[in-house]
Amino acid sequence: MQLPPSKLPGLETTIFAVMSGLAIKHNALNLSQGYPNFPSDPVLMDLIYEAMKTGKNQYAHMLGIPELRRAISRKFELLYNTTYNPDNEITVTAGATQAIYTALTAVIRPGDEVIVFRPAYDCYVPTVELNGGKAISVQLGPPDYKIDWEEVRSLVNSRTRMIMINTPHNPSGTVLDRADLLSLQEIVNGTDIMILSDEVYEHIIFDDEQHQSVCRFPDLRSRSFITASFGKTFHNTGWKIGYCCAPKDLMEEFVKVHQFNVFSVNHPMQVGIAKYLENEDHYLKLGEFYQKKRDLFLSLMQESRFKMKPSKGTYFQAADYSQISTEGDMDFTRRMTIEHGVASIPISAFNLDKKDNHMIRFCFAKTDDTLKRAAEILCRL
């Protein structure tokens, strides 16, 4: 049998699987793939076990259980003073990855252009392409990864269907400010361009910065899908549970795809998370928690030859290693894992044409002990 041509020719295995695989093989400290190496709150785990024991084990509501949708809606009210109707503007998803896939599949048609900022989280461009769309990349650069909105404006044309943003930003650890969002709003004003705003790190923001959700800006809100992940918020990336919020007309299209993509998301987790969200501290304190880890990591690394601008959000710290080596970042991170026992992520993996700026990404969602042991090694490089 002759296979048809690949729908994603040339696509390589995700860098996260590659680097975590290498870390395991060489028994390295894994500061590569973004996940905590400490346990989730036992209170949350008990709530989930309780839900299982009390029979919440069959298919959940297609949109997510009403209690969880209502809890998400309350969170928007509390944080951003806006409401999403839990009946028809919120859908619980199998993580943000599914939310992104479903949103793009719902609205992107062959020939549509989608503006993406590079470095871009690795599922964005392949998902655009799977739907026949064309990713139009705007390459950002270290150390600030600032967006030139005039460049964005020059790329907009009648084929532009969507602009994708991500703040706080993986992998750079930068955030968009109010002026950025206002520039975006101005560019899309009077057009039919939609926005996908990936806000999975909304609660992990530092130094008293405010997260600039698109929902704070009426003319962005009305055209935006917001994607989010409880994996980031509650230290359990393996549970793969998140959500998408959008105005009713956009959500209607989203749900048409969602129902045949996953139909519904695992039930006991939803029951547990809905209850856990009743205590606002469980997400309001997250920024403070990770700021301590960022500050510990930065202070431990003070004597190293890595150049780092403090991350403003996410649990990632970008680092310039050009004082240590002239190698490409793929080779450098491989060698650091194999020879020195610390794994990280080469940022070129997320860049247009794998542009290499000698930048790598460390994940600091790790125990203090892991951070100390890693920094000790990194300071010797």
- Decide: is 97 part of the binding site for ligand PMP (CB under 6 A): yes
Residues 240-269 that bind ligand PMP (CB under 6 A): 240, 242
Integer-rounded Cα radius of gyration of the chain: 20
Nearer to ligand PMP (CB atom), residue 76 or residue 101 = 101
User: Which residue's CB is nearer to ligand PMP, number 304 or number 311?
Assistant: 311
Q: CB of 231: closest distance to ligand PMP in angstroms? A: 4
Tell me the closest approach of the beta carbon of residue 242 to ligand PMP, in angstroms. 4
Report the residue from 95, 119, 173, 346 that binds ligand PMP according to the rule CB under 6 A.
95
Q: Which option in ligand PMP, ligand GLN, none does residue 229 bind, with CB closer than 5 to 8 A by kind?
A: ligand PMP
Closest CA to 359 of 192, 119, 164: 119
End-to-end, the C-alpha distance of the chain in Å comes to 52
Contacts of 332 (CB under 8 A, 6+ apart): 321, 324, 325, 346, 358, 360
Q: Which of 47, 68, 188, 200 binds ligand PMP (CB under 6 A)?
A: 200
The token duo for 83 is 């409401």
Name the binder of 16 from ligand GLN, ligand PMP, none, CB < 5-8 A by kind. ligand GLN
| 311 makes contact with ligand GLN (CB under 6 A) | no
Q: Are strands 29-30 and 342-343 parallel, antiparallel or unpaired?
A: parallel
Q: In b/e form, how buried is each residue of 331-344, taking b as 16+ CB within 10 angstroms?
A: ebbbebbeebbbbb
Q: Which stretch binds ligand PMP (CB under 6 A): 46-54, 69-77, 95-103, 244-252?
A: 95-103
Contact stretch for ligand PMP (CB under 6 A) within 103-111, 237-245, 255-263, 285-293: 237-245
163 to 192, contacts with ligand PMP by CB under 6 A?
Answer: 166, 170
| Neighbouring-strand partners of residue 162 | 114, 194
Q: Could you say which residues in the range 20-59 bind ligand GLN, by CB under 6 A?
A: 33-34
Question: Out of ligand GLN, ligand PMP, none, which partner does residue 91 contact, by CB within 5 to 8 A per kind?
Answer: none
Please give the DSSP secondary-structure letter assigned to residue 194.
E
What is the number of other CB atoms lying within 10 angstroms of the CB of residue 351? 21
**Which runs of consecutive H residues, i.e. helices, occur in the chain?**
15-25, 42-53, 66-80, 95-107, 124-130, 149-155, 178-188, 218-221, 230-233, 248-261, 267-276, 281-284, 286-300, 329-335, 368-379
Euclidean distance between CA atoms 181 and 201, whole angstroms: 17
Which is closer to ligand PMP, CB of 300 or CB of 363? 363
Q: Which residues pair with 307 in a beta bridge?
A: 320
**Which of 365, 288, 275 has the alpha carbon at shortest distance from 43?**
275
Give just the sign of the alpha carbon dihedral 18, 22, 25, 31: negative
Identify which of residues 120 and 187 has a Cβ nearer to ligand PMP in the complex.
Answer: 120
Alpha carbons 136 and 272: distance in angstroms, whole number: 40
Least distance CB 219 / ligand GLN (angstroms):
29
Least distance to ligand PMP, CB of residue 11, Å = 17
Number of chain residues interacting with ligand GLN (CB under 6 A): 5
Are the CB atoms for 165 and 177 separated by under 8 Å?
Answer: no
Q: For residues 20 and 131, which CB has a smaller minimum distance to ligand GLN in the complex?
A: 20
Q: List binders of ligand GLN among 144-173 (CB under 6 A).
A: 170
Contact residue for ligand PMP among 113, 198, 320, 329 (CB under 6 A): 198
Name, in order, each residue with C-beta under 8 angstroms of 15's C-beta and a sequence gap of 6 or more.
122, 345, 346, 349, 350
16 belongs to the binding site for ligand GLN (CB under 6 A): yes
Q: Which is nearer to ligand PMP, 358 or 361 (CB)?
A: 361
Residues near ligand GLN (CB under 6 A) are 14, 16, 33-34, 170
Residues near ligand PMP (CB under 6 A) are 34, 95-97, 121, 166, 170, 198, 200, 229, 231, 237, 240, 242
